[in-house]
Amino acid sequence: MTTVLLDPTIVLTAGILVAVIVLVGAALRAWQGWLELKRSELERVPAGRGGSEEGSGLGTARIELADLKERIRKLEAIASGVEL
């Protein structure tokens, strides 16, 4: 009866099972840590920027829009043969 419990196949299988459980536990702990890091980053971003970020983003968008309009105007002038 003791030879069945010490069979190399059973010992190897049990060892592999323990190793898989340990690896899965470590991966789960790492995943939880990564999620916690991302949560803290998301919580920190709005608090650090305050209310001025929305206005700043709007101003940047307006500048980019004006730049695009200027480029379109220049391209239309080139297409019509007018020199600027």
Report the chain's mean pLDDT, rounded to a whole number.
Answer: 83
pTM for the full model?
A: 0.46
pLDDT category of residue 84 using cuts at 50, 70 and 90:
low
Q: What is the pLDDT of residues 10-50, one digit of tens each?
A: 999 999 999 999 999 999 999 999 999 999 988 886 544 55
pLDDT at 49: 54
Neighbours of 68 (CB within 10 A): 10
At a CB cut-off of 8 Å and minimum separation 6, what does 4 contact?
10
